[in-house]
Structure 1
Amino acid sequence: MRAIAFLAVMPAVAFVVHPSQAQDAAAGEKVFTKCKVCHIADQDKNMVGPSLKGVIGRTAGTHPNFSYSAAMIAAGKSGIKWDEPTLTTYLHAPQAMVKGTKMTFPGLKDDKDIANVIAYLKQFSK
């Protein structure tokens, strides 16, 4: 009986404690220093890249007063919204997801870094 209970609980425990699920906004702030060259997250101010304040839930290519590439505008028109799964894919390889984007950043390779950056951005998307 204990073995059955253990097997029933393990998938839930694995989901909760799996390292790729962990998000640390403070660690994400450190990783975000790579992004600060072009973006700001805590203010609604465009720089070389658009402001990332409120990015979670935003349709791609729609932040006001920013000159997006035609590719990013088309991505938004196709239905891309910045949620966790979409940002995860984009942050791995921006040019692979949106061919023709003006963003020249090669991407983040570490899933933990991406999860942490998303946790950091969430603070400014409420």
Structure 2
Amino acid sequence: MKPCWLSLALGLAGSLLATTASAAPDAAALARGEQVYARCAACHAIEANRTGPQHCGLFGRRAGTAPGYADYSKAMRASTTVWNEKSLNVFLRDPMKAVPGTAMGYAGVKDDAERADLIAWLKQASRPGVACTVRH
């Protein structure tokens, strides 16, 4: 007979593994997200600033602070948003509503599934030292 604490620990570990496994995006979702990101490529890139800021290191970074990018709107620089799945979902749905005064003149990604796939792909592709290199 297993001690009570061992059964509890094994049950929690199994739940954590199941949650982690279900949270990981599948290859098809990542491929769809990369296709959606192609729409962003006119102004953005993962590894370099363009008309818009680079996305390398995006998650966990405060809005308006990409390294080496100086052309932020006053609204974006003043924003207290920290980029994560939730804040990106709100911003990418309607950038001008999420940050009034933003210079990003894009209507947003209105389709919920496309936005979720894009965010999953961005999370993977924008990890410094793993999938991109921050350039100043």
Post-superposition shift, 1:92?
A: 0.4
Contact conserved, 1:88 with 1:114, CA < 8 A, in 2? yes
User: Within 5 A, what are the aligned runs for 1:25-40?
Assistant: 25-40=30-45
Aligned partner letter, 2:40 = C
Q: Distance in 2 between matches of 1:113 and 1:53?
A: 20
Gaps of 5+ in 1: 1-15
In structure 2, the partner of 1:113 is 114
RMSD of aligned alpha carbons? 2.1
Aligned partner letter, 2:95 = P
Secondary structure of the residue that 2:41 maps to in structure 1? coil
In structure 2, the partner of 1:103 is 104
Alignment TM-score, normalising by the size of structure 1: 0.76
Moved over 2 A (4+): none
Which of 1 and 2 has higher RCO (CA within 8 Å, sep 6+)?
1
Aligned partner letter, 2:120 = A
Identity of aligned residues (%): 41
In structure 2, the partner of 1:59 is 62
Aligned partner letter, 1:38 = C
After superposition, give the CA deviation of every residue in 1:78-115 in whole Å (9 maximum; x if it has no partner).
x3100001000000000001011110010011111111
Gaps of 5+ in 2: 1-21, 128-136
Alignment TM-score, normalising by the size of structure 2: 0.71
Aligned length: 105
Which is higher, the Rg of structure 1 or of structure 2? Answer: 2
Post-superposition shift, 1:64?
A: 1.9
